[in-house]
């Protein structure tokens, strides 16, 4: 059975001319769809050209009926100039050609034909057409230069505003958010619907840090955090080559396709991040590669390149600042570690040497000690070991405070009992024999507050020992406890000794800080200590939600004061506010 003639279709391959026409046709359609406003503007220009030449011809006809005016054709040049200024060279050249034809058709004999018998009329027509062409080109060129100057001024203003925002807003609202928000605000008119920023973490892995979406319909429905977006950004980060990713439009009502262009942000030859811009297909012009000396008809791509360069520079500068801060922190840590080792080494040697000397003396085989001498040696060993234990405790407490691991175990406790316990410890250590310590508490009522009594005892002990250390013998020390309001208890330790210069009060609670002045009543040695007591006291009080500060005692000396909240709610929630008491 033979096949039917209609059962076989023979298709000839398209010729190269057909392919060229198809390619040109597709490119033309794409350009028209990507530039609808420009197409409408051009079409309006050509329509206005036709209307203006018709209107000018009517005006010339009216004038010619009234009086004969030589060179009346120059009126057409007004229309050419206006069209060149408003719509550019295309409509203005078209209007010059229409003027040439209209003047020949309506006003040169024989009328209503394009035949010219008089050579002088040919010269007049050609002069009109040539003048129209020259004027249209000059006017259009002047207009283009003016527009370029305006766009240049706008670019400079945009870049200046961007630099100002990057310099002023970044520390407060976050640099990543500033980058995406400013990029979107600058290029929304160019078709941008959203902007994303990917930055590397400390391990070099790319992370999505910021998303900004334009306030237009469907923009928030675009899946900017889809896996393919992360994958494309990672490829751009690795290769440094921009890449386009199609957006799934199932969630977007707009039928026009959407794309994301991922662009590497490069500063000083190093990639610092990946910027993603999402929008319609015409947004591709922003990232299209261009020759270095190419002149673009639209300055938006040049502005985009300048904006991304500034943002890359800002991100690079922020990374360098973070590295500088980390380096400063490391140097400070090394300095504190060295200071701690130096201070602890010196201060630990004294009690250890005392213990070793006393114990060694007691163990000498050829020496017989009487009971009084033996008791003195043992007391010396006990005091030195207590001093050593206190220094070790201070170091451990300070480390817990700095790590945020010191949580007070609060129970309601009387401040009067804390004061009595501290004074008993000082009397047992024979530290109050040369000073008169006075306690002032309200005659009525009780001073009750939730506290970790062991920690508050340590604070008060540190403050009273400081007052004893920096006050001359036979001077008085007052411990004043009061309740200034329903929510706060205030304790003040007042001495009349050396005092603290105003220039040094801001550093008095710093680690290892000590007054480096000899005592007038004992000029041969500086006061002993590690410089940790006040630092620990400040950390404990702030952990309780209170505040601690120092002020001058009227008449000379120093007054250390601290507050404690009387309610658990305040002591748990107002630590940050109380810390700002000073």
Co-location of 70 and 203 in the same domain: no
Q: What are the tens digits of pLDDT across the range 191-248?
A: 788 888 998 887 778 888 888 888 776 666 677 777 888 888 889 888 888 888 877 5
pLDDT value of position 322: 79
pLDDT value of position 302: 76
pLDDT value of position 312: 84
Instruction: Give the integer Cα–Cα distance in Å for 72 and 458.
Output: 107
301-340 burial, b at 16+ Cβ within 10 Å, e below that, comes to: bbbbebbbebbbbbbbbbbeeeeeeeeeeeeeeeeeeeeb
Global confidence as pTM: 0.45
Co-location of 476 and 421 in the same domain: yes
Is 4 inside a domain boundary?
Answer: no
Contact (Cβ atoms closer than 8 angstroms) between residue 401 and residue 536: yes
CA proximity to 44, closest of 79, 98, 87: 87
> 571 is in which domain, residue-wise?
407-579
pLDDT value of position 419: 92
Q: How many domains does the chain have?
A: 3
Co-location of 297 and 428 in the same domain: no
Is 394 inside a domain boundary?
Answer: no
Co-location of 424 and 485 in the same domain: yes
Is 2 inside a domain boundary?
Answer: no
pLDDT value of position 573: 44
Co-location of 181 and 264 in the same domain: yes
Q: Where does a domain end: 309, 324, 339?
A: 324
Co-location of 186 and 141 in the same domain: no
Q: Give residue for tokens 């400063």.
A: 328
Co-location of 435 and 525 in the same domain: yes
Encoded tokens for 503: 């220039």
Give bridge partners of residue 563 from the DSSP assignment: 490
pLDDT value of position 355: 86
pLDDT value of position 166: 65
Positions in the chain short of pLDDT 70:
1-36, 151-152, 154-155, 158-160, 162, 164-173, 217-221, 248-257, 288-299, 333, 336-347, 402-406, 444-445, 516-518, 520-530, 568-582
Co-location of 139 and 231 in the same domain: no
Is 152 inside a domain boundary?
Answer: no
Is 7 inside a domain boundary?
Answer: no
Question: Which long-range contacts (C-beta less than 8 Å, at least 24 apart) are formed by 295-303?
Answer: 299/148, 299/151, 299/152, 299/155, 300/187, 300/190, 302/155, 303/155, 303/158, 303/159, 303/186
pLDDT value of position 173: 45
Domain CATH code at residue 561: 3.30.565.10
Co-location of 87 and 197 in the same domain: no
């Amino acid at each position: 059975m033979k096949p039917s003639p209609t059962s076989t279709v023979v298709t000839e391959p398209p010729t190269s001319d057909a392919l060229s026409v198809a390619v040109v046709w597709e490119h033309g359609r794409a350009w028209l769809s990507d530039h609808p406003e420009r197409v409408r503007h051009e079409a309006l220009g050509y329509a206005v050209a036709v209307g203006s030449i018709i209107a000018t011809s009517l005006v010339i006809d009216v004038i010619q009926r009234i009086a004969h005016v030589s060179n009346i054709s120059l009126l057409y040049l007004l229309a050419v100039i206006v069209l060149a200024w408003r719509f550019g060279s295309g409509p203005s050249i078209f209007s010059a050609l229409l003027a040439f034809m209209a003047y020949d058709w309506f006003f040169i004999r024989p009328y209503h034909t394009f035949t010219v018998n008089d050579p002088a009329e040919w010269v007049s027509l050609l002069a009109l057409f040539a003048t129209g062409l020259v004027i249209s080109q000059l006017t259009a060129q002047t207009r283009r230069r003016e527009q370029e100057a305006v766009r240049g001024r706008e670019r400079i203003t945009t870049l200046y505003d961007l630099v100002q925002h990057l310099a002023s807003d970044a520390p407060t609202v976050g640099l990543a958010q500033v980058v995406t928000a400013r990029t979107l605000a600058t290029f929304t008119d160019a078709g941008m619907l959203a902007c994303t920023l990917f930055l590397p973490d400390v391990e070099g892995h790319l992370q999505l840090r910021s998303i900004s979406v334009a306030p237009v319909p469907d923009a928030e429905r675009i899946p900017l955090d889809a896996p393919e977006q992360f994958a494309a950004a990672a490829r751009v980060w690795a290769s440094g080559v921009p890449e386009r990713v199609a957006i799934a439009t199932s969630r977007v009502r707009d039928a026009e396709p959407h794309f994301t262009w991922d662009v590497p942000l490069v500063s000083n030859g190093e990639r610092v991040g990946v910027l993603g811009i999402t929008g319609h297909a015409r947004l591709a012009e922003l990232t299209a590669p261009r020759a270095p000396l190419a002149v673009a008809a639209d300055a938006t791509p040049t502005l985009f390149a300048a904006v991304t360069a500034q943002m890359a520079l800002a991100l690079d500068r922020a990374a360098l600042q973070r590295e500088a801060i980390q380096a400063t922190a490391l140097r400070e840590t090394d300095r504190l570690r060295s200071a701690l080792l130096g201070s602890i080494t010196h201060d630990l040697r004294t009690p250890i040497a005392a213990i070793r000397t006393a114990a060694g003396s007691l163990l000498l085989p050829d020496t017989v000690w009487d009971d009084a001498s033996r008791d003195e040696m043992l007391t010396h060993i006990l005091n030195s070991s207590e001093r050593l234990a206190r220094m070790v405790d201070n170091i451990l407490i300070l480390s817990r405070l700095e790590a945020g691991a010191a949580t007070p175990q609060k129970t309601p406790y009387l401040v009067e009992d804390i004061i009595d316990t501290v004074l008993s410890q000082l009397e047992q250590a024979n530290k109050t024999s040369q000073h008169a310590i006075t306690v002032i508490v309200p005659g009525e009522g009780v001073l009750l507050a939730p506290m970790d009594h062991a920690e508050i005892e340590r604070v008060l002990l540190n403050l009273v020992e400081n007052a004893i250390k920096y006050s001359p013998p036979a001077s008085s020390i007052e411990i004043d406890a009061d309740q200034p309001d329903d929510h706060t208890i205030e304790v003040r330790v007042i001495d009349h000794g050396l005092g603290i210069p105003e220039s040094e009060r801001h550093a008095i609670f710093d680690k290892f800080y000590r007054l480096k002045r000899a005592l007038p009543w004992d000029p041969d040695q500086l006061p002993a200590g590690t410089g940790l007591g006040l630092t620990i006291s400040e950390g404990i009080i702030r952990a309780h939600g209170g505040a601690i500060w120092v002020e001058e005692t009227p008449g000379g000396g120093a007054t250390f004061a601290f507050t404690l909240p009387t309610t658990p709610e305040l002591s748990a929630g107002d630590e940050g506010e109380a810390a700002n008491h000073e």
